[in-house]
Amino acid sequence: MNNNQDELKGEIKRMVVENLMLKIKPGEIGDAQPLFGPGGLGLDSVDALQLVVALDKNYGLKITDPEVAKGILQTVNSITHAIVATDPDR
């Protein structure tokens, strides 16, 4: 794990909180914490829609397939991997 990826994870957490207007602090989201479903952050399909739009806008990450979105949006870690995979310089 490098500093760039730690920064990126911080950015992603801020993006999640700001775009979904969550009443928590970005630092309260764990890197491996499930974003959806019980035991996780409790996000739903409308939240997923907003995250897909935000990822495209902020990182140019285009997710057109809902099944692919499910995989990418599982955790902050999985989102980070998807962004790095499209932009290895990060």
Partner 1 sequence: MNQRTILITGANGTLGRALAKNFLAESPDNFVWLGVHQRRESAAELAKADPNRSRVVSLDVTQSESWEAAVKEILAAHQRLDVLVNNAGTHDDAFLAQMKPESWRGVLAVNLDGVFYGCRAVLPAMISQHHGRIINIASLSALLAPAGQTNYAAAKAGVVSLTQSLAKEVARIGITVNAVCPGYLESEMLVGMDDAARQRALAQVPMRRFGKPEEVAAAVRFLACAGAGYLTGSVLKIDGGIF
Which residue ranges make up the site for partner 1 (CB under 8 A)?
Answer: 21, 46, 49-50, 53-54, 56-57
* Strand ranges for 1-90 from DSSP E: none
Task: Work out how close the CB of 11 gets to partner 1 at its nearest, in angstroms, rounded to a whole number.
Answer: 16
CB nearer to partner 1: give 47 or 82: 47
Q: In this complex, which beta carbon is closest to partner 1, that of residue 53 or of residue 85?
A: 53
**Shortest distance, position 63 Cβ to partner 1, whole Å:** 12
Contact 10, 26 (CB under 8 A): yes
As to burial, measured by CB atoms within 10 angstroms (0-12 exposed, 13-18 middle, 19+ buried), residue 70 is middle
- Closer to partner 1 by CB, 6 or 18: give it: 18
Neighbours of 31 (CB within 10 A): 16
Which has the closest alpha carbon to 54: 75, 83, 23, 27? 83
* Nearest approach, Cβ of residue 88 and partner 1 (Å): 25
